[in-house]
Structure 1
């Protein structure tokens, strides 16, 4: 069976799906399957000219909106690039982004299409202050879920909470299969170490949706209580300068290290003690599973896929979003009690190995592909 994995971002980009798919490809190839990756290079801009039509809604009512126009142009570019590069048929196409999915079905209507919806782009834009809830951009992006349902032969998503989020916008949410992301234990593994001062780490894009302002206020409270720590922030983004200024304002300059973008943070992560990320929304939160496999104690917010990964007090700690005081209390527990921290980390690792292993993903995807294979 020859399968095309259609991405939007190139696979070398950071992030759960982009970094995971090449490892899925490698596993399938070792099993004797044929599998290729396809994505739109960043250099391809404003090349496509073909008109875009959707089956379930008229996108032209949003014409003139800057964000929607850019989205439609990217769709056209994906069509142009796909026509340029793909010259052979595939048995199945597995798309991991709405644009990739809809373009592939447009150009290869007879090829079975499975689509994994990994995240809510519109929710992130709202939380990051880029668009308004109920505005034209939001309505356009929400309409794409119905279009995906109409065009895809099979829909997948990464968490039960995200399936619930999508449910009001499609006709048959019960048909969506949940396959959580999976991670290679050889890539994410613990390393024995001892730190004199508890080392906290977070890995994410520096955008409002990740709640790092809440984290800094919680760390300031932790410091006021007299608990030493170092917070390592790996990632870059538009609010980096704002966060650095907040760190100075909160007297955290000597307690925080901003690293910027790092291609392979998993090589760095095992040397720390606690992973913390107080996201305001998260469809899955791949980095929590990655950190768990590295034997870090987990502290996250009770939202989306994070709450499905963490059982509070058992394999990590959950706090409400937008609550620095609750986050400080959770951090105090893991900073001041190494034995408790170890207990959480061990339980987190055991669950991650059992539930979020790459082998489990391969097994589940094989069943989907075999079921979809044309006779």
Structure 2
């Protein structure tokens, strides 16, 4: 048997893989802050993806990571591997992230007799046949094998209640949170130097998007808007931070539109708080989103927001209060909203300060951790000290 500290409650977080997505970053943020005096924590990743870059960061936080290296998550024999893992490590509770972990992990937890919690990060409505049936199976698992599911936004909760025909008491809303102190205001000297390092002009008005570069993030629509905005506002620049399979397509689009240095692709970065501090407003032209962490970060950094009115975004951004909510895939609306931001620096500042207050009230990670620990003990049957 693995060495088990019976003075602590062992929790295993199971996730499909440990790439650079939002669920993976959330896993690290929460695990770093759960009470190590009460919890013995482990992470189990089912599959290798892009080298599992987040595995190293989690291990550096002092949390063991187990990589099962399952080559084909659809094979039924994988259940045996997961059962062996659970019997070896004997967790008191299994916390599941993403679809395959929900399907396989919740069934395995039921077989070994431990409670399972699932966090719902997405608003899926897949049309492709294989993805559709995987989604339906995950809904079945949530309904029949998980003790509680956590929607990261109320829209996520309602989506799964409707699609999965789940009992309302089995799915709760618990907003993700961030460490607000990370997003401090920077000195003018720091901002000038950071801008220079990023290829941004000192006097430019800068919009920024931070995202994994996938087609549903909608950055292609912002590039179309930039083809109009750069003519009207030569001193306007757009910074794109992130990488992904859609990156080459976006770069090719920017080249075909002759956007030049009005658009900067910065690639994958770890210095997001510093980057946000030197930009003027944040744009998220996404087509679907449950509760984007990047919007919390932008709000914490006191940035006014332009975002699509989809999913959980309206739970974060109120039109005319801390930003603008737009129809998705609407280039004209994006162009108009950016023009408004460029022309109204005082309004940008006011909206940014309001966004920070909203973030402090709703998206402080300390509040999320307290609620999650309370949930764990209620399911395990323990009482809090």
Q: Same fold (TM over 0.5)?
A: yes
Say if 2:356 is the partner of 1:353.
no
Partner residue in 1 for 2:56 = none
Partner residue in 2 for 1:72 = 74
1:76-91 matches, cutoff 5 A: 76-77=77-78, 80=81, 83=84, 87-91=88-92
Partner residue in 1 for 2:12 = 4
Q: CA offsets, 1:346-375, max 9 Å, x none?
A: 111111121011011012112211221236
Q: 2:143 aligns with which of 142, 149, 166?
A: 149
1:55-204 matches, cutoff 5 A: 71-73=73-75, 76-77=77-78, 80=81, 83=84, 87-109=88-110, 110-120=113-123, 122-123=124-125, 133=127, 135-175=129-169, 176-193=171-188, 195-204=202-211
The TM-score normalised by the length of structure 1 is 0.83
Q: 1:28 aligns with which of 20, 28, 34?
A: 34
Kindly tell me the number of residue pairs found equivalent between the two proteins: 342
The TM-score normalised by the length of structure 2 is 0.81
Quote the RMSD (CA, aligned, Å): 2.5
Structure 2 unaligned regions, length at least 5: 1-8, 52-66, 192-201
Q: Distance in 2 between matches of 1:259 and 1:17?
A: 22
Higher RCO structure (Cα 8 Å, ≥6 apart): 1
Say if 2:310 is the partner of 1:307.
no
Q: 1:338 aligns with which of 345, 358, 377?
A: 345
1:217-232 matches, cutoff 5 A: 217-226=224-233, 228-232=235-239
Question: Displaced runs of 4+ in structure 1, greater than 6 A?
Answer: 43-46
Question: What's the CA shift for 1:81?
Answer: 6.2
Question: What's the CA shift for 1:118?
Answer: 1.0
Change (3 A) 1:282 1:78: farther
Q: Secondary structure at the match of 2:34?
A: helix
Question: What's the CA shift for 1:86?
Answer: 6.4
Q: Distance in 2 between matches of 1:147 and 1:170?
A: 10
